[in-house]
Amino acid sequence: MDTIENLFNSRVSFNDAIEDATRNKWDKNLLLGNGFSIAWRSRVFDYKSIFDRANFLDISAVKSVFTNLGTEDFEEVIGALENANSVISAYTDFNNIPLDILERDAHRTKEVLIETIKQSHPANRYEIDDEEYTNCINFLSRFLESNGAIFTLNYDLLLYWVLLEGGKKREHFNFSDGCGEVNQHLQWSKSKRDQNIYFLHGALHFFDDGDSIVKIQLQGNGNLMKQIGEKINSGRFPIYVAEGTSKKKMEKINHNSYLYHAFDSFKNRLNTSDCLFTYGVRFSNKDKHIVDAIVNSELKSLYFGIYDEEFSEIDETTVTALRSIGSSGKNIKFYNTNSYNPWKEQ
């Protein structure tokens, strides 16, 4: 069996990877990570930019946690707060330790993350120019036009906006996020059998209204981000998964009908399709549920998009995850993303 390093050193171009899957007549599915959004504008979506814009005024101690851990990753800090709560609670003799503060700050940090993404997010879809739309539509069409599905771990609206443009500009660019109009509102339904777009960790434009999952619909000539912002400012947050551990993420997923269906559909696709492409994905310990779904599936091939130019630059958790996937009998092929940007002409 080839080692992960040997496979990395044999990496190919994105187009070669697509041609390989096409030659095998495989349905091509896509998993997007934060690198997809960073590829559009790194100054908006990378960890440092989000951290620098965040307002920690009402949880000033949390900012010190970021410093102490040497990180700008919100989920890492949320995980640290959640884990600290579990550890300290075992010391029953220390009743003076304010556990509720740790729990409160973990919850508030999740809200700060969403608030910051909302504030730094492009105000409307016109901030993406026509050329960027065309290039990204061409990228996504490689999957949608091969009977594949697109799964994303991102909360932002970039994918949604590109899909809307693609539906207007390109024939056979068929997609469904499972939503339809009900009483003049867009509601999601798991009965939509043609659904092929899934936000695995939620999205800014999906809200849980208690008895239904609602997608925010642009009102007239209004601004979708402004409408989302008004909801957040009123204390109503969108569906999102920002828990600090994979276990906590799965608890959140299992208690929301949309998230549960999306993750279940991901697992079903892995069992009934031949290949999965990733773009902008890193496998951290917080993504163990994603890795486990791949490991335990009948998937034949994983085409893993990698930006790093040297094997030593890949973080160890990603390497460990890929070794686990390879050991489960999956064929792993690396393709370059440092020479392929879905937003730019190739």
pLDDT tens over the chain, length 346 residues: 569 999 999 999 999 999 999 999 999 999 999 999 999 998 888 888 889 989 998 998 999 999 999 999 999 999 998 888 777 777 655 556 666 888 899 999 999 999 888 888 898 888 999 999 999 999 999 999 989 999 999 999 999 999 999 988 887 789 999 999 887 789 999 988 899 999 999 999 999 988 899 999 877 666 888 888 888 888 899 999 999 899 999 999 999 999 999 999 999 999 999 999 999 999 999 999 999 999 999 999 999 999 998 899 999 999 999 999 999 999 999 999 988 999 998 7
- DSSP H stretches of helix in 28-127: 34-40, 42-45, 47-53, 60-69, 74-88, 99-120
Are residue 101 and residue 160 in the same domain, yes or no? no
The residue from 85, 120, 155 where one domain ends is 120
User: Residue 136 and residue 130: Cα distance in Å, rounded?
Assistant: 10
Q: Is 31 helix (H, G, I), strand (E, B) or coil?
A: strand
Exposed (0-12), middle (13-18) or buried (19+): which is 113, by Cβ within 10 Å? buried
What values do phi and psi take at 267, rounded to 5? -65, -40
User: Residue 286 and residue 112: Cα distance in Å, rounded?
Assistant: 19
Are residue 175 and residue 253 in the same domain, yes or no? yes
- Note whether 183 and 231 are within 8 A (CB): no
Question: For strand 213-215 and strand 185-188, is the pairing parallel, antiparallel, or unpaired?
Answer: antiparallel
Q: Token digits for 82? A: 């959640």
- Note whether 126 and 162 are within 8 A (CB): no
CA atoms within 13 A on the CB side of 238: 28
Domain membership flag for residue 71: yes
Are residue 91 and residue 239 in the same domain, yes or no? no
Q: Which domain holds residue 150?
A: 4-41+128-336
Domain membership flag for residue 88: yes
Domain membership flag for residue 202: yes
CA atoms within 13 A on the CB side of 96: 0
- Note whether 345 and 135 are within 8 A (CB): yes
Number of domains composing the chain: 2
The residue from 94, 120, 146 where one domain ends is 120
The residue from 101, 120, 139 where one domain ends is 120
Residues 6+ apart with CB under 8 A from 223: 123, 124
Residue 294 DSSP code: H
Are residue 93 and residue 163 in the same domain, yes or no? no
Are residue 98 and residue 209 in the same domain, yes or no? no
Are residue 25 and residue 72 in the same domain, yes or no? no
Are residue 178 and residue 268 in the same domain, yes or no? yes
Are residue 215 and residue 171 in the same domain, yes or no? yes
pTM of the predicted structure, to 2 decimals: 0.91
Residues 6+ apart with CB under 8 A from 324: 291, 295
Domain membership flag for residue 57: yes
Are residue 57 and residue 36 in the same domain, yes or no? no
Question: For strand 301-306 and strand 331-336, is the pairing parallel, antiparallel, or unpaired?
Answer: parallel
Exposed (0-12), middle (13-18) or buried (19+): which is 173, by Cβ within 10 Å? middle
Place of tokens 């009934």: 272
User: Residue 126 and residue 124: Cα distance in Å, rounded?
Assistant: 5
User: Residue 302 and residue 315: Cα distance in Å, rounded?
Assistant: 18
